[in-house]
Structure 1
Amino acid sequence: MKEFIEQQLALYPESREQDVLKAVYQSVFGCGHFVYDEAKCKAMLEKELRENNYTSKTAVEDLGRYSRVYLSKLKESGISSSTLLKLFILSAKEEDKKDEYIEAVKLLPEICKDVFDKREFERIISTHIEEGCPSLHHSELFREKYHPCYRVILSEYADIIPLLCEIEKREECIVAIDGKAASGKSTLGKLLSQIYSADLIHMDDYFLPPERKTKERLSEAGGNVDYERFACELLVPLVNEGRYISRPYRCHGGYYEQPKEKKRSKITVIEGSYSLHPELYRHYDIKIFIDLDPRMQSERIKKRDPEMYERFISEWIPLENRYFEETNIEKRCDIKLISKKNYRMEVIKNEK
């Protein structure tokens, strides 16, 4: 907390008490409420984009769990206003974190005692808590000095703005997300489908049925996925004809679902281990690999699926690792993401 407040005061030395409170509020609650009227939010965003003439020093300001995305840098960042609006709406939620917030703000008078009158700050905080911790405005001085014009979104969303820029360079695209178990492939796939109303296809629906899991087949790198069926029924028709057959295989029940013909959407997202298999690789427009520290991977799997943990460790992860080593997709992909604590991501573009 002390380091965060010191950073805020260094960035904004003309801050008043309410500006520091607002930064802490946003770091805990984000924008602090659900978005009930998307049209109104869109109109407000467009108005601010038209009227804002001040250029901020930074595009994204990290507040911890949330980040401020500055509108003056939006065009420069490469994402559209509609994408920022969607990220803002997806980030907006009402969470019961008041106790965490109150505990944090009570530390502020001591942290800021060399900047603000300690007793006065204590009084301001006491009144704020008594009023139920409502959302706050920036001070008049702060607005005059720094012209704040931004939207607050989850930092895990702000992290992937460079990836979203790559997607938005294209009218249509097929995105593939491969990577280590528990690295966040499904989470990223779901997010992209929400942002862009994209079709989301799971490689888990194309694993081999038991009768095809021969010793010879499983000796192949990536041989435990039915890449032939995936290419024949789905990927090649999707690319060449703008339509495809969806026929997921349900491992637990040992059956195929009834086939459904679907039309291609502007953006299609294919997520899951082996999605960048050498037999499929060339068909994608954007190829993503997500890396993950082995210790964090183990912790996530144990928490997410404790009953299957031993099988992950002894069977599935060794198969995945051999596939990654033999295909070298980490180096061949367009974008590498490194999954970190709290599902934050570091984005690295591969230079080919």
Structure 2
Amino acid sequence: MSEKITHFTERCPDSTPERRFAPVIEAIDALLAGSEEILMAAIDGRSGSGKSTLASFLLRRYPDAANLFHLDDFFPQEAQRSEERMAEIGGNLDYERFREEVLIPVWYGDPVIYRPFDCHTMRFPKDREQTISAKRLNLFEGTYSCHPYFGNPYQLRIFLTVDKETQLKRLRARVGDEGLVRFRELWIPKEEAYFERFRIMENADLVL
């Protein structure tokens, strides 16, 4: 975007998606109206902040114009998870494969062909291979979507945040008490280090 636009929205329990995500709709509509080029929008932010909710809402709002790609499909492969790699800020993402298999084809308007990584089998199941045709609006949802390894391919960078109490409540509902311990001890500290080191929120166009 040519100008940085930052919105902080009040998180009201009774807020509708249209109200909560109004700044995003406004920004995307302006980008779609202002150019015929392929548009790339990153949805980064904290665990439990509503990234997937926003992405699903946008996919429903722009059903004929949008593709959605999830960063969770690019967990590091077993051979990549060395002690050195996992200690790297932002290293718990297969950013090499995401760039080559998704970002570059989208950038050139080519179809995207990839297999989501299955964390349970530690493989790329052939039966889950996806072929996604090019569309104008491309949404990249997940923490680390604004990793500096990717450069700056996006016309819109969105950051979602959440207070700690709400975050932990949502994560407990999602992964249970045992899973929450792993989030608190591992995943949340890793993402917070990434946000701070690379100033992800400060460099976003929209903050919700």
TM-score, L = length of structure 1: 0.51
1:203 corresponds in structure 2 to 71
**Change beyond 3 A, Cα 1:168–1:320:** same
Superposed, which structure 2 residues align to 1:133-212 within 5 Å?
Answer: 155-171=16-32, 172-197=38-63, 198-212=66-80
Q: Give the alignment partner of residue 139 of structure 2, picking from 263, 269, 274.
A: 269
- Structure 1: any 5+ residue segments left out of the alignment? 1-62, 66-153, 338-352
Mapped contact 1:236–1:283 kept (Cα < 8 A) = no
Amino acid at match of 2:50: G
Q: 2:188 aligns with which of 306, 317, 340?
A: 317
Question: Residue 264 and residue 314 in structure 1: after superposition, are their counterparts in 2 closer, same or farther (change >3 A)?
Answer: same
Cα deviation 1:114-153 (Å, max 9, x = unaligned): xxxxxxxxxxxxxxxxxxxxxxxxxxxxxxxxxxxxxxxx
Higher Cα Rg, which structure: 1
Aligned to 2:35: none
Q: How much has 1:281 moved relative to structure 2? A: 4.5
Tell me which of 237, 242, 249 is aligned to 2:110. 242
Matched residue type, 2:68 = L
- Residue 64 of structure 1 and its aligned partner are, at CA, apart by 7.6
Distance in 1 (alpha carbons) for counterparts of 2:54 and 2:90 = 22
2:4 corresponding residue in structure 1: none
In the alignment, what sits opposite 1:251? 119
SS at structure 2 position matched to 1:191:
helix
TM-score normalised by structure 2 residue count: 0.84
* Alignment partner of 1:279 is 2:149: yes
2 CA distance for matches of 1:324 and 1:64?
A: 26
Answer yes or no: is 1:289 the counterpart of 2:150: no
RCO (CA 8 Å, sep 6+): is it higher in 1 or 2? 2
RMSD (Å) for aligned C-alpha atoms = 1.7
Which of 334, 337, 344 is residue 205 of structure 2 equivalent to? 334
Give the CA deviation at 1:211. Answer: 2.3
Matched position secondary structure for 1:174: strand
Find runs of 4+ consecutive structure 1 residues off by over 4 angstroms: none
User: 2:152 aligns to what SS in structure 1?
Assistant: helix
CA–CA distance in structure 1, aligned partners of residues 25 and 67 of structure 2: 16
Q: Quote the sequence identity (%).
A: 35
Q: Higher helix proportion, which one?
A: 1
Aligned to 2:5: none
